[in-house]
Structure 1
């Protein structure tokens, strides 16, 4: 396939935007590792998109494959130097929150931060991630790339945080809000068997109404001259502490 005007190409490009993904019920996964992770973890791959001259991995030989030219791949891909493979993947309906450790994201807008937090939650052994209102779309290409496949490893739920917090508390969770207001250093806090951690917007932090719903505000001491930590770094420190 060499034409940018091909109907399939036009449909793939529409998946670059949230509206197009919602309408089609699909998203684009790009790169050998990410596409293979989707396949290995049982996500429904609708179609493999392969650049001419790129070898098809053994695991994708039984899937529908469409070969396209390098110029079309550069048009469809959202990376500067595409690896030559992408896939259309069916969006999963929101899964249920699972397990005893959950991280909730309140209004995070940087896709790199969101993807990194999902990846770190996976690495730290957290059980679920909840994306609250105002948080960047899970299937944004930069989010997907930043997760490095962790998106496909654990439940990532898009939900109302107020309802979720109330539900978690009813189930016996202790809810921590990462905030500097009336907060206790995490080193002084005992962890509980069921813990939910909230982190907030890169500039504004967690909404006040959400902080008030939490059981405990927690902070990370700043020992040097930096004003603050990047939210994904702070989330990582706290998740590893909770799951130590």
Structure 2
């Protein structure tokens, strides 16, 4: 079904603005906003249900819209919107003219099923900055990790800035969330080794064997890992540094650790 909306006072547009700006509304409605052609395509590929699509015909053509939504079973309601409305809804400086409303998934750790017998998992504990979370998801996608687990999340995973900074990798990764204790219990039940990026009783990261079932845990730059994880790790690991400071950006550190694990695994495969 296709409709036209020309007023900013339209109730659907007001609801979209709320969905864009407020985490509690996203949680209440069980929906979130996706902006951009690539991101929407990746969401559909990741089996997310698109409920509504809003597009500005002066920016994006009907042919482009059809190429995005064709061959998908679920019914998507289409709405033409004006440039004024689009600019109110968009959060990017670049313009693509298309915004979708998608149904959220239940990402609780209890629902996670791992397909690999030797999974390689990234865990981020208490991440807060959307940019860091997005960068972690991009790294996880590049490494084709088996899962990304967010422990004690401080930010709504469907925050538009996470989707933007991850360039859609929110939809290309297997993601689960939970408390640190819940995630630790999950890992122990699955007999997955836990390597914590921490200075306490640590060894250099490249000395460890990551070819077995492995989870690499990173904390925030400010507080590091919680006691729950520090007491549960198989081994704490560190990246040797030659500068004045003793920490680096969490997404950079995660990338170094993950690709050492990938290097080891590619070497034996």
Q: Distance in 2 between matches of 1:72 and 1:182?
A: 55
Q: Distance in 2 between matches of 1:97 and 1:181?
A: 32
Q: How many residues are paired up?
A: 244
Specify every segment of 5 or more residues in structure 2 that has no aligned partner in the other structure, as ranges.
71-75, 264-269
Aligned 1:53-64 pairs, distance under 5 A: 53=58, 54-56=60-62, 57=64, 58-60=66-68, 62=70, 63-64=76-77
Specify every segment of 5 or more residues in structure 1 that has no aligned partner in the other structure, as ranges.
none
Q: Are 2:82 and 1:69 equivalent residues in the alignment?
A: yes
Tell me if structure 1 keeps the 8 A contact 2:180–2:228. Answer: no
Match of 2:93 in 1: 80
Q: TM-score, with normalisation over the residues of structure 1?
A: 0.94
Tell me if structure 1 keeps the 8 A contact 2:221–2:247. Answer: no
3-state SS of paired residue (1:104): strand
Q: Are 2:46 and 1:30 equivalent residues in the alignment?
A: no
1:61 is displaced (CA, Å) by 5.2
The structure-2 alpha-carbon separation of the partners of 1:178 and 1:52, relative to structure 1 and needing over 3 Å to count, comes to: same
Match of 2:56 in 1: 51
Q: Distance in 2 between matches of 1:29 and 1:237?
A: 30
CA RMSD of aligned residues (A): 1.6
3-state SS of paired residue (2:196): strand
Match of 1:5 in 2: 9
Match of 2:19 in 1: 15
Q: TM-score, with normalisation over the residues of structure 2?
A: 0.85
Q: Distance in 2 between matches of 1:81 and 1:20?
A: 26
Match of 1:93 in 2: 106
1:60 is displaced (CA, Å) by 3.6
Tell me if structure 2 keeps the 8 A contact 1:108–1:114. Answer: yes
Q: Distance in 1 between matches of 2:144 and 2:57?
A: 39
2:240 aligned to which of 210, 218, 221? 221
Point out the more displaced range, 17-26 or 89-98.
Answer: 89-98
Tell me if structure 1 keeps the 8 A contact 2:123–2:215. Answer: yes
Point out the more displaced range, 20-29 or 72-81.
Answer: 72-81
Tell me if structure 2 keeps the 8 A contact 1:32–1:83. Answer: yes
1:84 is displaced (CA, Å) by 1.0
